[in-house]
Amino acid sequence: MLSRLLAHGDFLNLSRFSPDAVKPQTLQLENGVHVHIIAPGIVAFCPQTLNLKSKYIVLSSGVHGNETAPIEICDDLVKRLFTGSLVPAHAVLFQFGNLDAMAIAKRFTEENMNRLFCGAHSAGEGRVNDERIRAKQLEDTMAAFFADAGDNAEKLHYDLHTAIRESKNEKFAVYPFLHGKPYSREQLSFMKACGVKTILLSESATTTYSYHSSLNHGAHSFTVELGKVQPFGQNDMARFEEARNTLTSLVCEPHLSLDDDLSDMVIYRVNQVINKQADDFELYFADDTPNFMDFKQGDKLASETGAKYFAEQDGEAVVFPNANVVIGQRAILTVVPASLEYINV
């Protein structure tokens, strides 16, 4: 395994197709970089020396197994770090989330992993499936990684995804609920550098991975949607060039120079979180309606036994609509425009 990793950096393929060969170990590359192989799909790289300005970066991808573009971006970074063509300036942890779902080209095998963080993996019936077990493992390895950072180091977590459906705004990010803490202008500038110019401000606690890292580790965190789901090998990687280049610079450069002009950013805040409560939940718009399609006040969005749901104001838009979620999970998120003044950066 080791010779294959050092020659080709083929960590993801080994993790997917020969997971029993991926054993926990620590090694040092010829360039002095320390590599910590933690588990299949989980590996960290640390430069020879870290200082007070060093960042601790977590890049997670594949929490949904069919969201392939971010997986391919991170796979390429890992290969180049293993082979020495890239040298990290900061500590970076890569987590390829749902290896089993990747194998069957599905979002998940039994349960949506991005609803299983903040301890949700152990709630109710407990860790009864692979997604719940893996979510706990991701949390634990993140906690151990950030524990090495100390109190003053900058901690970053970008949970990288692609969306099920088309979007009027192709790339967007969800900024998790900060419980009154200010939003970061620098982080918004970083999103812009990644080609992500639409930001959704969450206004409630969730069980997503980015909310977990923000709440429990004080990390600057985002759920980043980089485009639309495609099979492995069928992504037009030119569409992800800004994100790929900016993430590479983040890992390898001591400091990033970012454009702090946010005038072209589009900001939304969450207005309604509509959870499915009955089997007959039905959307009142076409299945191919893109994310960020806006509605007029009073337009009917969905219905189910005992409830009807309407747009509450003009310009209210839908994001992540999915009538096929299990009862109790979010079926529609609605958002409304917000200003930079609103977000207090």
Best CA proximity match to 199, nearest among 211, 208, 191: 191
Look up 225 and say whether it is catalytic.
yes
Q: Residues 206-257: pLDDT tens digits?
A: 999 999 999 999 999 999 999 888 999 889 899 999 999 999 999 999 999 9
Please identify which residue in the block is written with the tokens 């430069």: 47
Q: Residues 16-44: pLDDT tens digits?
A: 999 999 999 999 999 999 999 999 999 99
Best CA proximity match to 49, nearest among 85, 84, 88, 9: 88
**DSSP output for 182-247:** PPPHHHHHHHHHTT--EEEE--S---SHHHHHHHHH--EEEEEEEEE---TT---GGGGHHHHHHH
Is 166 marked as binding a ligand? no
Q: Which pair of tokens denotes residue 82?
A: 């293993």
Record the pTM: 0.93
**In degrees to the nearest 10, what's the CA dihedral of 290, 108, 326, 293?**
-10
Residue 344 has pLDDT above 80, yes or no: no
Q: Residues 166-195: pLDDT tens digits?
A: 788 889 999 999 998 999 999 999 999 999
**DSSP output for 15-57:** HHH-GGG---EEEE-TTS-EEEEEETTEEEEE-S---TT-EEE
**Side chain identity, residue 122:** S
Question: Which member of 111, 225, 304, 316 is catalytic?
Answer: 225
Is 161 marked as binding a ligand? yes
pLDDT at 343: 59
pLDDT class of 287 with cuts at 50, 70, 90: confident
Is 90 marked as binding a ligand? no
**In the chain, what are the domains?**
2-252 (3.40.630.10), 274-337 (2.40.50.630)
pLDDT at 340: 66
pLDDT at 320: 85
Q: Residues 302-315: pLDDT tens digits?
A: 999 999 999 999 99
pLDDT at 5: 78
Question: Distance between CA atoms of 274 and 272, rounded to whole angstroms?
Answer: 6
pLDDT class of 51 with cuts at 50, 70, 90: confident
pLDDT class of 4 with cuts at 50, 70, 90: confident
Residue 7 has pLDDT above 80, yes or no: no
pLDDT at 52: 80
Residue 342 has pLDDT above 80, yes or no: no
